Structure 1
Amino acid sequence: MTVRIVIPARYGSSRLPGKPLADIDGKPMIQHVYERALTVQGATGVVVATDDERVRDAVEGFGGTAVMTDHRHESGTDRLVEVAELYPADIYVNIQGDEPLFRPSDVEQLIACMTDDASVDVATLYHVINADEASNPNSVKLVLNAQNDALYFSRSPIPYDRDGEGVTYRKHIGIYGYRHSVLDQYGELTQPMLETAEKLEQLRLLHAGFKIRAVEVAEVAAGVDTPECLDRVRGLMAGIEPKQMRAPALADVRLVITDVDGVLTDGRLVYDTQGECLKTFHVRDGLAIRVLEMSGITVAVLSGRDSAVLRKRLADLGINRVCLGAKDKRLACQTLMDELDIRPENTLFIGDDTLDLPAFEACGISVSVADAPGYIREAADIVLAAEGGQAAFRELADSILLAQGKFENISTAHGYENLSGFKTQ
C-alpha cells in the first residue's frame, strides 16, 4: 500500500503573508516541514502543493518536489485532490505547511491506523486539553464514539458539561490521512450548513457519511498562524522549553491574592468620630471569595492597611490567609506562595495602584480593576470591566471558574447547592 505525504503551502496568508518562506533557524519554514515529512516511516514520497511560484522555487532550491495548484482552491483538501491526479497512491497524508514542529511518529500512528483497518475512510489526530483552551474558538474540538470515530467537530466547547461534573475535551490536530477513493469523491460533495457555520471542511466528510477515525497523541506544539506564533516556534527551535514560553492561564490558577482598598472597596476611606476607618464592601465579592475557596482555589488577602473593620469582614468570610499592614507586597506574595507551596505561574494578584506593581511582577497573572490609573492597567495582564468595590472580584472569580470548568458552582442552583456548607456573603 503506497502512502504519499502532501504539504499544502499557500503564500497569501492574511495574518502572516509569505508564511511558508518565513525564516526559522536559517531555513524557510516549508523546508522544516518537508524535511520532517521525509523521516516518516511508511511514506513513499513527499510533495509540496502550492499556489505561488516563490514557494515552488524555494522547495526546488533545497531539492524538494513541488507542484503548482490552482490559486482558487478554498482549502488544503481541494489542493490535495489536484495533487492526487498527478501522483498516484493508496493513501494521502495531508500535513499543513505551517506545522514545522509536527512529530513524524504521530503521522506514523495515523498511517498504521489506516493500513490496519480498511474500513477507515479518513484518519486524523487529537490530544486532550483543559477547559480554558476548550473555550477558545480557534481550538477545534471533537467528540468520539466507542470506536474513536468522530461524531462531530466544533469551535464550541463540546461536550457541554451541564451538571459541572467535569468532561474530557479533545483538540483536533489538522493532520489527515485520506484514501484515494475519498478524494475521488470530494469534489462532488456539497458544503452542508454545518461546514458553512463552523468553517470546518471536515464536516463535509462527516455529513456525506465518511468515517473519520481519530488517533490520540501527546500534546503538540501549535502551528504558525500569526507573527506571535512564529516567534514562539523560533524560540522552541532555539531550545526554549514550551513551559517556559507558555503564558500563565486562568485555568492554571490555584491561588488568588487580592488587594483590599480599591479592589474589594471603592478606595474611599471614611472615619467616624472615634477615628475608626469605615469601608464599604460589595456583597457579591464576598460570595465570589467563598465559592472560589469551596471550588479548590485558595484566596488570600493582602493590604498595606490594617483595621478592626477589615479584620471583622475577613473573619465573617472565613478568610484566614491574610497579610495586613504589608509594606513590601512582593515579599508578602512570595511568602504566601512559599507557605502554600504554590508556584508563581499558578498565582494571580488583583490590584489597583502603584503599590501593587511589585505584586504584579511576583505573580504569574496580574489583574487590574477598570478604574485603576492607565499605567496600572497597561502593566496588568487582564483588565476587568468592573471598577473597584463594584463587584470587580466577582467578575474575576466568574472568569476563573469558567476557565476551569467550574462555572456551574456559581451560575446554577445545582452547582451552588453541591458546595453547601456556607451562606455567608
Structure 2
Amino acid sequence: MASEQPRIAIVIPARYGSTRLPGKPLADIAGKPMIQHVYERALEVAGVSTVVVATDDQRVADAVTQFGGKFVMTSADHPSGTDRLAEVMQHVDADVYINLQGDEPLVRPGDIETLAAGMASDVSVQIGTLCHAIDGQEANNPNTVKVVLAANGNALYFSRSPIPYPRDAQFAQFLKHVGVYAYRRQVLAEYSSLEQPMMEGAEKLEQLRLMYAGYRIRAYQVEPTGPGVDTPECLEEVRAIISGLGRPAKPSLADIRLVITDVDGVLTDGGIFYDGSGECLKRFHVRDGMGMRMLEENGVRVAVLSGRDSATLRKRVADLGIELCQFGVKDKLAACESLIAQAGVTAAQTVCIGDDSIDLPAFAACGMSYAVADAPSYVKAASTNVLATAGGHGAFRELADAILTAQGKASVLSTASGYAKVMAKMAQ
C-alpha cells in the first residue's frame, strides 16, 4: 500500500524592519505589495495544504489580510528565521514545513514542487533545500552561498568561500545555495536546543548548526533562479522583470573603458616601510604594471586613486605612464566622478578595485567594483565581484586579464604575435 502523503505547509517569513530596504515586504511591484507576489506563487505549488505569512509587524499582517491571505503573528525577538518557523509550527499543523523567503517574488512554483516531492518520496530526508550551477566569478562573491554535495545529493558543506577550492584553473563546477528550506516537524521542534557551532558564527549561515548536530540536508538541483530583493537596485530589477520590461542589462567587463585602482592594499600588499630619512617605501608587483600598460594600449584607461601621497607613489605611477591620477584624496566618491569625467566615459563603463572601507564611496561611484581576495568581509559584501588574488600579489593583473579576455583581446596575453603588437610600449 502506498505511503500516506505528508501534509506540507509553506511558511513565508516577512519582517518589516530590513536594514537595507525598510518596509521591504510592502514594496510595490506592478501594483501589488511584494509579499502578495510571493504568496500567490506559493498558492500555485501543487500538493501544499497551507500557505501562511509569518510576520512580527501589524502593517504586514494588514496587507496580507487585504489581499485575502493568511498570517501568523510571531515574536520580534527570534535570532533566526528557523526559530520563527518553529513558533509558527505551534499554530499550523503539518508534517513538512517549507520556509519560502518573503523577498523572492520571482520564485518558480515548480522549484518548490521539486523540493516538496523530494521530501515526500524519501522519508529519510530530514531537511531539503535547493541549489543551481554558477560560474567561477559568482562563486568568488561572499554574498553567494556555495554548497558541495555527496553522490546522493546530501550537502557536505555550505560556505561563503568558493568551494571546492579551484586548485586546478580549469575547474569550474560550483553550486549556489538557494535559501529555500523544507523541514520535518521533529527537526523544527529540536532546533532551538541545538548548540551554535563556531562555523555558524564564522560563516553567518544558520544551516551549519543543523549539519554540526548531525542532521542531513538534501539539496535538489534546479535551473538558475531570478534575483531576490536585497537592495533598492534589486527591487528595481525585479520590478522591470515583472512589468515585462525584461531584466535590465548589467555593466559588463566587455563594456569597461576605465579602471580606477586604489594603491595601498591593491597595488601593494598594504605594508608601509620607512628608510632612515623617513622616506616611505612600498612594494609593487611587476605584473600589475604590465596589466596597466596592456589595458592602456588596448583602449582601456587606468586611473590611480590614493588616500596617501608620496614621492615613491608618484614615481611608480610616472614610470608606468599613467596620466589619470589623484593623490592624498579624502573624498573618493568625488574623486572618482572627476576621473570618470576626465576620461570621457560613463559610470557604467567604469570599474573600481579596492581593499578597505575607504574605497566604499569609490565602489558606489562606479558601475562595477572588485574587492581583492584579502579584503575584509564587509568590503567584499559591498563589491559587485571579488578577485581570487590578494592585494600586492597580482590582483590588478587578474582584473586586467579578465577585461582583455572579455573584450576579445586575449591574444595580447597568450600569444607572441599578439604581444608583439604592444610590446614596444610595455613597462613593468
Give yes or no for TM over 0.5: yes
Asked whether 1:116 is paired with 2:116, we answer no
Change (3 A) 1:79 1:356: same
Aligned 8 A contact 1:135 1:403 in 2 = no
- How far off its partner does 1:397 sit? 3.1
1:83-131 Cα distance to aligned partner (Å, 9 max, x none): 1121111111110111111000000000111111111111111111122
Q: Identify the residue that residue 63 of structure 1 maps to in structure 2.
A: 68
Aligned 8 A contact 1:256 1:299 in 2 = no
Alpha-carbon distance in 2 for matches of 1:378, 1:223:
21
1:2-51 Cα distance to aligned partner (Å, 9 max, x none): 11100011111111111111111111111111111001011111011110
Asked whether 1:22 is paired with 2:6, we answer no
Q: Identify the residue that residue 45 of structure 1 maps to in structure 2.
A: 50
Q: Identify the residue that residue 83 of structure 1 maps to in structure 2.
A: 88
TM-score (norm 1): 0.66
TM-score (norm 2): 0.65
Alpha-carbon distance in 2 for matches of 1:218, 1:168:
14
- How far off its partner does 1:301 sit? 2.6
Alpha-carbon distance in 2 for matches of 1:303, 1:140:
33
| Segments of 4+ moved more than 6 angstroms | 255-259, 352-355, 376-379, 402-405, 419-425
Alpha-carbon distance in 1 for matches of 2:249, 2:27:
22
Alpha-carbon distance in 2 for matches of 1:384, 1:21:
32
Amino acid at match of 1:124: T
Change (3 A) 1:114 1:128: same
Aligned 8 A contact 2:251 2:348 in 1 = yes
SS in 2 for 1:72: coil
Alpha-carbon distance in 1 for matches of 2:92, 2:370:
55
Q: Identify the residue that residue 225 of structure 2 maps to in structure 1.
A: 220
Amino acid at match of 1:79: R
Change (3 A) 1:161 1:69: same
Residue of 184, 187, 190 corresponding to 2:189: 184
Aligned 8 A contact 1:130 1:404 in 2 = no
* 1:354-365 equivalences in 2 (<5 Å): 356-357=343-344, 360=345, 365=349
Change (3 A) 1:181 1:26: same
Amino acid at match of 1:157: P
Aligned 8 A contact 1:124 1:212 in 2 = yes
Q: Identify the residue that residue 251 of structure 2 maps to in structure 1.
A: 248
* 1:261-276 equivalences in 2 (<5 Å): none
SS in 1 for 2:147: strand
- How far off its partner does 1:163 sit? 3.0
- How far off its partner does 1:160 sit? 0.9
Aligned 8 A contact 1:95 1:176 in 2 = yes
Alpha-carbon distance in 2 for matches of 1:18, 1:219:
27
Residue of 296, 301, 307 corresponding to 2:298: 301
1:328-369 Cα distance to aligned partner (Å, 9 max, x none): xxxxxxxxxxxxxxxxxxxxxxxx786852xx46x9743589
1:284-326 Cα distance to aligned partner (Å, 9 max, x none): 4675489x9xxxxx9973499xxxxxxxxxxxxxxxxxxxxxx
Aligned 8 A contact 2:258 2:340 in 1 = no
1:372-425 Cα distance to aligned partner (Å, 9 max, x none): xxxx9998645899xxxxxx9x764322558999xxxxxxxxxxxxx7989987
Change (3 A) 1:381 1:147: same
Q: Identify the residue that residue 314 of structure 2 maps to in structure 1.
A: none
1:40-65 Cα distance to aligned partner (Å, 9 max, x none): 01111101111011111111111111
Change (3 A) 1:209 1:107: same
Aligned 8 A contact 2:135 2:174 in 1 = yes
Change (3 A) 1:53 1:302: closer
Residue of 198, 203, 212 corresponding to 1:198: 203
Change (3 A) 1:224 1:302: closer
Residue of 317, 333, 350 corresponding to 1:366: 350
Amino acid at match of 2:233: E
Alpha-carbon distance in 2 for matches of 1:404, 1:182:
50
Q: Identify the residue that residue 110 of structure 2 maps to in structure 1.
A: 105
Residue of 33, 37, 40 corresponding to 2:38: 33
Residue of 205, 213, 218 corresponding to 1:208: 213
Q: Which runs of 5+ in 1 are unaligned?
A: 260-281, 293-297, 305-351, 371-375, 386-391, 406-418
Alpha-carbon distance in 1 for matches of 2:136, 2:146:
11
Q: Identify the residue that residue 416 of structure 1 maps to in structure 2.
A: none
Q: Identify the residue that residue 398 of structure 2 maps to in structure 1.
A: 398
Aligned 8 A contact 1:30 1:100 in 2 = yes
Amino acid at match of 1:177: A
* 1:147-158 equivalences in 2 (<5 Å): 147-158=152-163
SS in 2 for 1:85: coil
- How far off its partner does 1:197 sit? 1.0
Alpha-carbon distance in 2 for matches of 1:133, 1:44:
36
Alpha-carbon distance in 1 for matches of 2:85, 2:353:
50
Alpha-carbon distance in 1 for matches of 2:19, 2:258:
41
Aligned length: 320
Q: Identify the residue that residue 72 of structure 1 maps to in structure 2.
A: 77
Change (3 A) 1:258 1:301: farther
Aligned 8 A contact 1:132 1:402 in 2 = no
Alpha-carbon distance in 2 for matches of 1:288, 1:3:
55
Asked whether 1:174 is paired with 2:179, we answer yes
Asked whether 1:141 is paired with 2:146, we answer yes
Alpha-carbon distance in 2 for matches of 1:404, 1:170:
27
SS in 2 for 1:124: strand
1:186-226 Cα distance to aligned partner (Å, 9 max, x none): 12111111111111110011111111111111111121111
Amino acid at match of 1:247: K
Aligned 8 A contact 2:12 2:101 in 1 = yes
Alpha-carbon distance in 1 for matches of 2:404, 2:82:
35
